[in-house]
Structure 1
């Protein structure tokens, strides 16, 4: 097994190989919400390896690109909805921008596969060992480069899968490593059986099965301690049409809707309104804030999304922030740190503003909030908020969760209509709850509003695209999971160690 002679029909037929890679990438979307066929993860990896193991680095670049296009073309196709329906662009231009987005994201896979071929050279053994390491490092780079796109990770599927028990220990990147490694083992089993080495195949199968069977047992471990007394909670889902969200003629109506939904819940301990539920800057919303504070019970806190405008000492200028604030028996304002390109700020705006409608979306001039912001306070509890896209960053959430007993995320997924994007977003929030051993409270404009418990399970939810109020009980947590303390560094370090010691030496040692 020391060279790339392990060929299959998938690797020798050019067109069959290309089709297989695109399909394999698309299968990964099916592992995620709303499909949740987590078992397709290793199958997808196996198909990729069957198509790629013998290929030279140049061909691996193209192979990775095809697999990436299959993944992002199926799993991130929801960007078309925001570009076409809400970005004031024609259908042909929206299709073109979506294709550019998908093809650009596919380059991450292309470069990772090329590096895989270079580092492993022609050894099939090295390629199998290094594949999970390269995959995870590629995912990690994609999470921060050019602001990052931490979406569509294979590990997210296991919030309901057998490997989910490992999430509080090694995080989503670690779970992804295990999924990809399992696919590599499947390839190894195929080869060992083909070579009639059934004993070795049996040992490999047993070790892998033990890993998968230990996940559910590990999920029973209580990494954090929940308070014995519950906090009553209510979250309002206004279902405001995106077309009128920023229309000045409808601003008052939106406030009235949220006040009406809250009418019976002013005495609730913690009340949540979604992202930009108050669609005017905080400095202009004084009367609304005063009214809310007057209606709240003595032990009640309302947390709402609201834009912030003022002078920033850090930026040394007046600026807008996408923010969230606590009113009533609580305190604090949080400014969003992880901004969405084109949705909340426009890169190279001096060139792009005014070019097409998509580059002039409402409220697309936010500034990034400062790092190390403290949690909001609500009835004596620390509540760490994350606005929309921020909840997708695993290490960011784990680090900021250390000083809070509750996690909270607000969003307006109305930009993505009835696509699969909002359901993927919910699944990501569930993974963050599982990784940190904390309740995650989710408030959205049109769904999915939910209470997620410390194991990533949905305790309460209300349907999408309805105007309704969710209510339930939540529990603050103390203590930390291993992942909260270490982040993704253990699995990233393991990946680097594998590369250093398993890779083909580019410069041979001197005799």
Structure 2
């Protein structure tokens, strides 16, 4: 063991870990977007120069730093609001991070295993951007997918945000990796650094220019919408004695907007009750809204009376009949336990106090509300942009409802 450790390039591995640790700082709430390029440039340089047998480990440590800091909020949601013990929530988060870290690790391994014989400029400008994009895209669908912290989201406040309407989040990620490759290439060409720096500058000027383009224009009659946020603390929300005060709060806030709104929207899980428990009250409230020409749409769990063990995180457009959207993409460790079939009896032994939400259909029709066809997504689902836009062009309005209180004062609400 000591001999194996002695052979490890510890300084290089530490540099890979620190580069990964720096990458989440390019995302909200920190917003240090140039760090995305710098951290990847350091990783690419390490992968190029270190012994091939250590590349996988370097990529893995980079991933541990990247996701260890970036998704640390998973432990917060499980411990503070999921009922797990500190040790179990930390263990679950560590396992989750170790799985996610495999994606950059395999990116490095594939690169050195199959493409390291190519000229350096091809490695940096073609191979590494393509492999990173491929593995990041695969992270968005493997085991139902976890596209959180996709590289492109680090640039929401940078000039590259201008490219988003054209190339999307993965296209921005590709430009970041291309920029990182150009930066390394400039380092490797001390006498002609201007050659790679010119296209690097061009990428960012292009993004800045595209920021000035108006990509959409209003069409049809304006929709007057009011978003009502009761802001009930999560640790109080589900207490039995808090149910009626919550209902009264949302009722009072909504009544202020019946007259000036075509639709009033409450957030995800606005009411601490199943829909069938609150249906009579909600139907009465919707009838009151209709008298003023308004409509009510809200998030709350739905449990079919015929299937008492099945329940969905849902959005309901209250009416006769009600229209229901059931969440399809559930949050790992928040709404379901990943690999539950594999963990099996271990969950019982550890007494994991979580039950899974059921998954809604992958394709669901828009909700017809206020003369609009509304495509709904709930919270974390807006990370799956390619699925959200499937509702277009049939849908005329996109609505996402969220409840970030589940994650406390962690990084998650800012990243979201």
TM-score, normalization by structure 2? 0.89
Indicate the residue corresponding to 2:89 in structure 1: 94
Distance 1:352 1:320, change over 3 A: farther
Distance 1:176 1:308 in 2: 37
**Residue 336 of structure 2 corresponds to which residue in structure 1?**
345
Measure the CA separation in 1 of the matches of 2:117 and 2:216: 46
Aligned to 2:281: 288
Structure 1 residues 92 and 327, CA gap change in structure 2 (3 angstroms)? closer
2-structure distance, mates of 1:74, 1:251 = 35
**For residue 183 of structure 2, what is the aligned residue in structure 1?**
186
Report the Cα distance in structure 2 between the residues aligned to 1:340 and 1:404, rounded to whole angstroms.
25
Q: Which moved more, 1:240-249 or 1:345-354?
A: 345-354
Q: Quote the Cα distance in structure 2 between the aligned partners of 1:187 and 1:367.
A: 47
Distance 2:333 2:152 in 1: 27
Q: Give the TM-score of the pair, scaled to structure 1.
A: 0.74
Q: Does 1:204 align with 2:189?
A: no
Residue 458 of structure 1: aligned partner:
none
Which residue of structure 2 aligns with residue 306 of structure 1? 300
Q: 1:377 aligns with which of 368, 375, 379?
A: 368
Give the alignment partner of residue 22 of structure 2, picking from 18, 27, 37. Answer: 27
Whether the 8 Å contact between 1:330 and 1:378 is mirrored in structure 2 is no
Distance 2:88 2:333 in 1: 15
- Runs of at least 4 residues of structure 1 off by over 6 A? none
Inter-CA distance 109–46: structure 2 relative to 1 (3 Å threshold)? same
Bigger relative CO (Cα 8 Å, ≥ 6 apart): 1
Distance 1:329 1:214 in 2: 50
Q: Are 2:123 and 1:127 equivalent residues in the alignment?
A: yes
Pairing 1:32-431 to 2, within 5 Å after superposition: 32-123=27-118, 124-128=120-124, 129-193=126-190, 196=191, 198=192, 201-227=193-219, 229-267=221-259, 268-297=261-290, 298-310=292-304, 319-327=310-318, 332-346=323-337, 347-348=340-341, 351=345, 354-356=348-350, 359-361=352-354, 364-425=355-416
* Cα distance in 2, alignment partners of residues 192 and 408 from structure 1: 49
1:189 Cα deviation from its structure 2 partner:
0.8
Aligned residue pairs: how many? Answer: 403
Question: Cα distance 1:330–1:119, how it changes in 2: closer, same or farther (>3 A)?
Answer: farther
Segment drifting more, 339-348 vs 319-328: 339-348
For the residue of structure 2 that corresponds to 1:104, the secondary structure is helix
- Secondary structure of the structure 1 residue equivalent to 2:224: strand
Gap change, CA 1:355 and 1:233, over 3 Å in 2: farther
Secondary structure at the residue paired with 1:372?
Answer: coil
Worse-superposed segment, 41-50 or 233-242: 233-242
In 1, are the aligned partners of 2:283 and 2:319 still within 8 Å (CA)? no
| 1:51-109 deviations in Å (ceiling 9; x for gaps) | 22123543111011011011111111111211222233333333333222222211121
Compute the RMSD of aligned alpha carbons: 2.4
Which runs of 5 or more structure 1 residues have no equivalent in the other structure? 1-11, 426-511
Provide the C-alpha distance between the structure 1 equivalents of 2:32 and 2:393, rounded to a whole number of angstroms: 32
Q: 5+ unaligned residues in a row in structure 2: which ranges?
A: 1-6
CA–CA distance in 1 between the matches of 2:247 and 2:349?
Answer: 33
User: Quick check: 1:15 aligned with 2:26?
Assistant: no
Between Structure 1 and Structure 2, which shows a larger proportion of helix residues? 2
- CA drift of 1:170 comes to 1.1
Please give the secondary structure, in 1, of the residue aligned with 2:303: strand
